[in-house]
Structure 1
Amino acid sequence: MKKERLFYLDFIRAISTLIIVITHYNAVFFWGRTPGTELWSKLVTPKDVFNLYIGNLGVSLFFIISGAAMMYVYGQKDKIDLKTFFKKRFMSLYPMFWLAYIACFLYLFYVNKGFSTSVPYWRFIFTVIGFDGYLSTFTSTFYLLGEWFLGCIVLIYLVMPFLIKAVKKKPLLTFVISLIVYILLVLFYNLPLPISVVIFTRLPEVIFGMLFVAYIKKVKVAYLLPSLAVLVLNTVLAPHINDSFQTTYVGIATFLVLVFISQFFKFAVAENICSEIGKYSYAIFLVHHQVISQITSKFNLDTLTRGNSYVLFLLCLSVTFIFSKILFDTEKYLMSHVFRK
């Protein structure tokens, strides 16, 4: 029996997707540029919200809803069939990623009139398994689309059956252990891989999402007011706390506030919009980088007005959605008609 969709997950997934697209559009104007310059005035939203980089907030929300969604689907099962679980996760990630990568590579090959790289060819294996973006955070790979989040979510899926079992049997202990490991890592981490992509620093967000679906379920005033206080105080006081810590507690507080707000948007139009964005969110995640890069490269950003920047963003957003739908529909057709058993 198909489970009823949780609207607040679609609602937050849609917001998170929009945040990620906005983040990478804004980055065109501020990445590698002097803070406070004229280009910074053309961002479509502030670079930071609640004293946190807006991109970090979007990613945090994605991790939370990923844990929540997995727990909602598998938390009621007495036993998870590992073969079926991993096959579904594999099919949900890799075929669309490979298809998008091939299309992107061929397009760039044509535009650049060839292909040249100093990256050792053996590293293409990282692309095949979806870790090129993840590893590109500290070394050279054949990374073209998507981002580090893909590799991290693959790692999380690998341990997800264990996490579901642990959360069901020892929910509080599981969360506390994840917090202890997370805190120790943030305080003492000293490796070349950015700490934000290390799976153990994302588990508190994932496990919180799982706990929410399994045990909390609704956001009452008792949860809402402290969450709002966290966001307000973090904005007003702007504490110099480690970004990893801020990302986690601001992400969780924002999630709780959005769950509460979502009940006021639970009507047909909003449900359809959020459902559609959620449906194509992975495809959007895969293509938006290149769409934004290719479109904005055709404009002189120095002479672009603030108003035109908003129009340009809407253009990038529209084209991203169009290509996402094409990618989604193509992958679905190939899987059901060409590669079916």
Structure 2
Amino acid sequence: MSNRIQELDVLRVLAMFFVITYHFGCEYAAAGLPFINLFCTTSNYDFGNIAVTIFIALSGGLLYKRYGVIGCEERCPTQPGITNDAPKNTNKFEQIKTFYVKRAKAIYPPFWILSLYIPLSMIRHLVTDGNAFFLGNPVSLLLTVIGFDGYVKLFGVSTYAFCGDWFVGAIVMLYLLYPLLAKCYRNFPVVTLIVLAGLYASQFLLPAEHDGILSALPATLMFKFVIGFALIENLERFKDWRVAAVAGGSFAVLTFVDIPGRLNTDAIGTFASFALFAALFYLAPQLLRFKATSVPIQKLATLSYCVFLVQHVGIVWVQGAFVKIFEKMHWSFTQWNVLALFTCTLVIIVLVAWILKLVSDKLVQKR
């Protein structure tokens, strides 16, 4: 993408880190191993929420910066800071088609490569117990093809989901809705944000048993996605130290002051995410001043989607390997060696994500 905003790479890498720390802590706690609450949970929110919120907002904002409104018969006008990359002199259908093809090439190849594990697992079950469709209706494999297997699994649908959790389906849904959301926001920005905020807030009227899926509901996702449009349009405001100070203070309060009630289901984490966004965007240039930090950040940022795909299953598999090694060596798990195992897990996930992206890019270029 032209005119890359390097400060946003810092936020992208941070989101990657948080989703790994969150799932690492959850899996080790669930296994009864020493629990390292390192960027995992607070009394008000969890860092998985922070990671997904930042990533969704960045995805929406950067799409809006690149494409603006898609589907205009003529090249749509843009606002300051928004670069419209929609092809000139193309009709509405061609613009939308080009957009969706580009999004599909970015999302599906790495997801499908990892999902090859599913047919391999089906073959193994066919050989061992004579039942290839060990997880139920084979029609649900269609949900894997379109990336919605993990998303619908949240709602009790039996699927063959393997990687990406529910995030892939969520981002596919938002990309499908992007042309409509961008047009609404461009024409009626305040009204669009108010309507989406109202839909988001209305979800807290649902019974408490639905709290576990609140962060994945369509209204929540659309609200965070379109907030990303507004963030991109107002990046210059975040260069003010006073804005950063207020944002940093707000993040500290939301993190360390226990706020009771259902708002900590998703709302506090959402507010904390945007406060962290504003504070870190102001501080990011200081990190990028040094080559020792700027180069790794820029390289890691390109792996963000692949990291989101592999991180959870990677944590589970690496944890299983560590448990077998410790049992064989008669070692005990402690908080200190679990911290070392976290570092090893982080390196392995990044390495696998890099290989996945390399293979995926090669296949796309060849195609």
- Counterpart in the other structure of 1:7: 6
- Residues 57 and 277 of structure 1, relative CA distance in 2, 3 Å threshold: same
The aligned length equals 331
Equivalent residue letter for 1:85: F
- Counterpart in the other structure of 2:316: 293
- Counterpart in the other structure of 1:253: 275
- Unpaired segments ≥5 residues, structure 2: 77-85, 87-94
The normalised TM-score by structure 2 is 0.82
Give the C-alpha shift of residue 227 in structure 1: 1.7
Higher gyration radius (CA): 2
**1:102 and 2:116 are equivalent in the alignment:** yes
**2:42 and 2:255 in contact (8 A); partners too:** yes
- Residues 185 and 292 of structure 1, relative CA distance in 2, 3 Å threshold: same
**1:189 and 1:195 in contact (8 A); partners too:** no
Q: Identify the structure with bigger relative contact order (alpha carbons < 8 Å, sequence gap 6+).
A: 1
- Residues 164 and 269 of structure 1, relative CA distance in 2, 3 Å threshold: farther
- Residues 244 and 51 of structure 1, relative CA distance in 2, 3 Å threshold: closer
The equivalent position to 1:229 in structure 2, one of 224, 249, 273, is 249
- State, as a whole percentage, how many aligned pairs show the same letter: 23
- Residues 224 and 209 of structure 1, relative CA distance in 2, 3 Å threshold: same
- Counterpart in the other structure of 2:82: none
- Residues 254 and 25 of structure 1, relative CA distance in 2, 3 Å threshold: same
The equivalent position to 1:282 in structure 2, one of 305, 310, 314, is 305
1 CA distance for matches of 2:41 and 2:144? 31
Give the C-alpha shift of residue 206 in structure 1: 1.6
**1:71 and 1:214 in contact (8 A); partners too:** no
After superposition, give the CA deviation of every residue in 1:71-97 in whole Å (9 maximum; x if it has no partner).
121138844511111111111111211
Query: What SS does the aligned partner of 1:299 have?
Result: helix
2 CA distance for matches of 1:305 and 1:157? 43
After superposition, give the CA deviation of every residue in 1:163-209 in whole Å (9 maximum; x if it has no partner).
22222222222111111111112223689682221121122222222
Equivalent residue letter for 1:264: Q
* Residues 1-341 of structure 1: pairs in structure 2 closer than 5 A: 3-31=2-30, 39-40=33-34, 42-43=35-36, 45-49=38-42, 51-75=44-68, 78-79=75-76, 80=86, 81-103=95-117, 106=120, 114=128, 117-137=134-154, 138-188=156-206, 194-219=213-238, 220-241=240-261, 242=263, 243-267=265-289, 268-300=291-323, 303-337=332-366, 340=367
Q: CA RMSD in A?
A: 2.6
The normalised TM-score by structure 1 is 0.88
Equivalent residue letter for 2:341: L
Equivalent residue letter for 1:61: I
Question: Which stretch of structure 1 is more off in the superposition, 157-166 or 72-81?
Answer: 72-81
Equivalent residue letter for 2:276: T
Equivalent residue letter for 1:166: C
- Residues 91 and 26 of structure 1, relative CA distance in 2, 3 Å threshold: same
